[in-house]
Amino acid sequence: MKLVILDRDGVINEDSDDYIKSADEWVPVPGSVEAIARLSQAGCKVFVASNQAGIGRGLFDYDAFAGIQSRMLQKLTELGGQVCATVFAPEHPDHATEMRKPNPGMLRDIARRMQMSLDDVPFVGDSWSDIQAARAAGASPVLVRSGKGRQTESAGHDLTGVPVYDDLAAFVSDWLS
Which listed residue (7, 15, 126, 167) is catalytic? 7
Is 18 in the active site?
no
d(CA 37, CA 48): 14
CB 151 within 8 A of CB 130: no
| Residue type at position 70 | S
Which listed residue (9, 15, 126, 130) is catalytic? 9
Terminal alpha carbon distance of the chain = 16
Ramachandran angles phi, psi of 3, nearest 5° = -120, 135
CB 143 within 8 A of CB 162: yes
Is 63 in the active site?
no
Report, as residue numbers or ranges, the catalytic residues.
7, 9
